[in-house]
Chain A
């Protein structure tokens, strides 16, 4: 009996960890799993819009820089908060070299997509967009974590509530 309870608790923990991981990789998906579909769509659209809009403004895609390890690691971590979109953009920037005549390439060149060229006047503002979206997504995943581990409501304490068992 005790073993069954332990396995059940482990399964519950694994499920919760999976939801949090999913919420990080695909912004809004954790809300979707919790049944908050409208919020999930709003988070998905807003985070991705902010991130890609920032990159189209010329924000750099951060990589680890040994000359400024702390700053570059923090910037990279903040952008990685956007989940899969960060790796998609990392893959996308060099790929554009292989499509010389595509409209996407022209648009990317015009907007300095992901290059972080400081002479480009909008790069600094794009940087703010791309970093903030990642940090806000991490914040929303932490809220899901809080919601999942909040105690279930009891008749004596109606203030507490939870969406996930």
Chain B
């Protein structure tokens, strides 16, 4: 088990986007493109939300 929040987030996004690509697309080429798109969106989206929460979250 990796004790890193960021690494675990990458692994979770990786696994989830693989399975979502298999769900939403049928052709291998489409699946790979969809997987990459979803994985990047998840990671970048999480980082953006994390920074927003960092600035809005107060001192807690």
Contact = CB atoms under 8 A, between A and B. Distances in A.
8 nearest CB pairs, A to B: A136-B19, A50-B15, A46-B15, A56-B1, A46-B18, A139-B23, A143-B23, A111-B1
Contacts, number: 44
B11 interface: yes
Contact of A136 (B8, B16, B28): B16
Interface of B: 1, 3, 5, 8, 11-12, 15-16, 18-20, 22-23, 28
Nearest to A57: B1
B19 A46 contact: yes
Contacts of B16: 132, 136
A122 B19 CA distance: 23
Nearest to A39: B22
A47 interface: yes
A97 to B, nearest CB: 21
